Structure 1
Amino acid sequence: MKRRTLLQLAAGAAAAGILPRTAIAAAGQSAAPLEELRLDYAYYSPTSLVLRRFGWLEQEFKADGTNIKWVFSAGSNRALEYLNGNSIDIGSSAGLAALLARANGNPIRTPYIYSRPEWTALVVRKDSPIRGLADLRGKKIAATKGTDPYLFLLRALQVAGLKRADIEHVSLQHADGRVALEQGRVDAWAGLDPHMAASELESGSRLLYRNVAFNTYGFLNVREAFLASHPQQLARVIKAYERARAWVRANPSEAASILAEEAKVSLPVALLQIKLRSDFSQALPGARHVNALRAAAPILHDEALVKPGTDLNRVVAELVDTRFAQTIVARG
């Protein structure tokens, strides 16, 4: 067996927790330079916007001759599609959306948490007669399938004793869902910031149902093949994300300005998202993230979003990598 193949296998085993981290370092230091690093940026991940704006990854990999390719993700569904299709190496999504993707065969792992947001809620127009979850029966509700808002919608319906069949789901990307709500083409919308915050502040839309516990964390996912063959490069990406996270925590108003410019929303909208609805204090995957996914996982079985018999606890354990970033991520 060729030496490079052995190194890749060793790196993969180490990333899975079979070998100690020293094996990751040894494999990564011996790996060939990476020609191109492909990762996404998204309005729902302000740290990715900061990282892209300041060119810190470009600086980090300049000496290696590695080209940094940024791909825009309009939602978790897009980021996960890109990962599954090998269009990007690293992509950002909601935790429950990542679990759904992994359970259905997307070969990803999560070594880093980019935020703890309250980024979704059920939204209605300011003049809507809808006053509670029970009033959603028979109504048209917009949501982007395969994302945290869509899964939030399903869990919220359960709270009222409703099922997906009790409403008319209208599949739209997040920005289009806002437009459909405000134009009266749907009765409610499972929103996502910054679009949701903009609809609140600019159109007077009302948050019908909020539940922070139903918002899963922001997961930075990596293709397993990339993790196995380029663990050192992944570690350098996470270090750059850590730099961006520290900057956002120290400069929330400036980070909001970047978000406002990138997403083309007002500064008050961006400030609402970053200062009031995002927590950037915990980036290392751990028990709280595992437990959040385990609590949310039953909805995937209840709504037949995964194959019958899928062991979601096992899938959670396979997805959430609590070891890789232990020596990289700052505590607290």
Structure 2
Amino acid sequence: MTMQRRQFHRLLTASVSAASLLSPVLVHAQTKTVLRAGDQKGGLRALLEAAGELKNLAYDIKWTEFPAAAPLAEALNADAVDFGPIGDAPLLFTLAAGSRVKAFAANRSDAYGTAILVSPESPLKDASSLRGKSIATNRGSIGHFVTLKALESVGLTADDVQIKFIPPADAKLALTQGAVDAWATWEPYTALAETSKHARVLVNGRGLSSGLSFLAATDSALLNKRSILQDFKGRVERAQVWSYKHPAEFGAALARIVGIPEEAARLQFERRATRWVPIDAQVITDQQRTADFYLKVGLVKQKLDVSKTFDSQFSGQA
């Protein structure tokens, strides 16, 4: 009996030793690189999932959703995510603050949904009627940018209004409760407010905003996960093409995945008419114009050369 136990012990020891030699190989073979993706209100994830572009990935994706660009930018700066979608104005704001990120993909959308909203019964008629009024928005957001551009267009400045920096959910509540006179926001919040009859558009972003948004990644992700980011970018571009060929199907999927009514999902999707574009001279020129405006109004303290904030070595549009 004792001999049998010794033989069993030797067999067990040999098996464990063999397993310990093999396990690193097996673990290495089974482990995929993880792409840490930031997202805003489920937009990217919903698009890719609806189009079937999250299938057959050679890497894993860890999604983190943010309510606005500011917390996403903070996560990029803290290296908590590898990349995420961010508008032109908030990207500049975070770059001016010293974040080590670069835009590696660009898209243009109809800027209507980046808008200043008021309650349906508000007496305000246009941007000039905002003098002395309170406006809720996120600091450095595209809503903040459009607010300043709208004021400038009628000869006003930020000193002529009261800008209150409040996250989207709180800003919506503040508007509906009458705690602020206006709310400067973006899609899908604009479409949600309109379709629910909680607000109307006072000023839209057409002619005020370039409509540019980007995928921005940390320097470390661009260095170490470049081929993965390239693959992801291609999937997003293909998914965007698919979405406009299947608007009803995508609208329903967007509503389900993001958790908003289908009417609002369909409105913001069709109205934005997003198209992915190469990072070319026009994109850089438009972004420089936005940076110069931020310098003019004092949101950034020194001139920013935006050409250094792009990685244009990824392929062009799908």
TM-score by length of 1: 0.79
1:58–1:68 CA contact under 8 A, matched in 2: no
Distance 2:307 2:67 in 1: 27
* Contact persistence 1:96–1:148 (CA under 8 A): yes
Secondary structure at the residue paired with 2:64? Answer: strand
1:290 paired residue among 284, 288, 292: 284
Matched residue, 1:225: 220
How much has 1:68 moved relative to structure 2?
1.6
Contact 2:86 2:214 in 1 (8 A): yes
Structure 2 residue 38 is the aligned partner of structure 1 residue 36: no
Instruction: Pick the aligned partner of 2:75 from 58, 79, 82.
Output: 82
Q: Deviations over 1:154-201 (max 9, x none)?
A: 111111222222211121112322222122111011022212112112
Counterpart contact for 1:182–1:203, Cα < 8 Å: no
Equivalent residue, structure 1, for 2:181: 187
The reply to whether residue 101 of structure 1 matches residue 94 of structure 2 is yes
- Counterpart contact for 2:51–2:239, Cα < 8 Å: no
1:249 Cα deviation (Å)? Answer: 2.2
Find the residue that maps to 2:170 and give its secondary structure. helix
Amino acid at match of 2:99: N
Q: Deviations for 1:118-137, whole angstroms, at most 9, x for unmatched residues?
A: 23111111111111222212
Q: CA–CA distance in 2 between the matches of 1:67 and 1:322? A: 25
The count of aligned residue pairs is 286
Identity of aligned residues (%): 26
Matched-pair contact (CA < 8 Å) for 1:115–1:281: yes
In the aligned structure 2, how far is the partner of 1:150 from the partner of 1:296? Answer: 12
Q: Note the C-alpha offset of 1:153.
A: 0.8
Judging changes above 3 Å, is the alpha-carbon distance between structure 1 residues 288 and 253 closer, same or farther for their aligned structure 2 residues? farther
1:122 aligns with 2:116: yes
| 1:48 pairs with 2:45 | yes
For the 8 Å contact 1:117–1:217, the answer to whether it is kept is no
Report the CA distance between 1:273 and its aligned residue: 0.5
Residue of structure 2 aligned with 1:237, choices 232, 240, 259: 232
| 2:251 partner SS | helix
In the other structure, the counterpart of 1:248 is 243
CA change 1:53–1:79 in 2 (3 A) is farther
What SS is found at the alignment partner of 1:69? strand
Other-structure match for 2:303: 311
Aligned-partner Cα distance in 1 for 2:109–2:167: 22
Quickly say closer, same or farther: Cα 1:325–1:73, change in 2 above 3 A: farther
Shift of 1:105: 1.0
Would you say the 8 A contact 2:39–2:45 is kept in 1? Answer: yes
CA contact (8 A) 2:116 2:204 kept: yes
Given the alignment, which residue of 138, 143, 146 partners 1:144?
138
Match of 2:294 in 1: 300
**1:264 Cα shift?**
2.7
Change (3 A) 1:90 1:321: same
Q: Which moved more, 1:155-164 or 1:142-151?
A: 155-164
Is the contact made by 1:58 and 1:67 (CA closer than 8 Å) also made in structure 2?
A: no
- Give the deviation of 1:58 after TM superposition: 5.9
User: Which one-letter code corresponds to 2:101 in the other structure?
Assistant: I
CA deviation digits over 1:242-264, x for unaligned, max 9?
A: 23222212222222222222333
Task: Tell me whether 1:60 sits opposite 2:54 in the alignment.
Answer: no
Per the alignment, residue 21 of structure 1 pairs with: none
Larger radius of gyration: 2
Contact 1:94 1:148 in 2 (8 A): yes
Letter in 2 for 1:110: A
CA–CA separation in structure 2 for the residues paired with 1:121 and 1:182: 16
From the superposition, tell whether residues 79 and 237 of structure 1 become closer, same or farther in structure 2 (CA, over 3 Å): same
The answer as to whether partners of 1:178 and 1:196 remain within 8 angstroms in 2 is: no
Give the alignment partner of residue 260 of structure 1, picking from 255, 258, 263.
Answer: 255
Return structure 1 stretches of 4+ with deviation > 3 angstroms: 45-48, 52-58
Distance 1:54 1:116 in 2: 19
Q: Judge conservation of contact 2:116–2:182 (CA < 8 Å) in 1.
A: yes
For structure 2, the 5+ residue unaligned runs are: 1-30
Is residue 47–residue 236 contact of structure 2 (8 Å, CA) maintained in 1?
no
Please say if residues 136 and 164 of structure 2, whose CA atoms lie closer than 8 Å, have aligned partners that are also in contact: yes
Q: Distance in 2 between matches of 1:262 and 1:189?
A: 25
Deviates more, 1:137-146 or 1:243-252: 243-252
Assess, with a 3 A threshold, how the Cα gap between structure 1 residues 124 and 170 changes in structure 2: closer, same or farther.
Answer: same
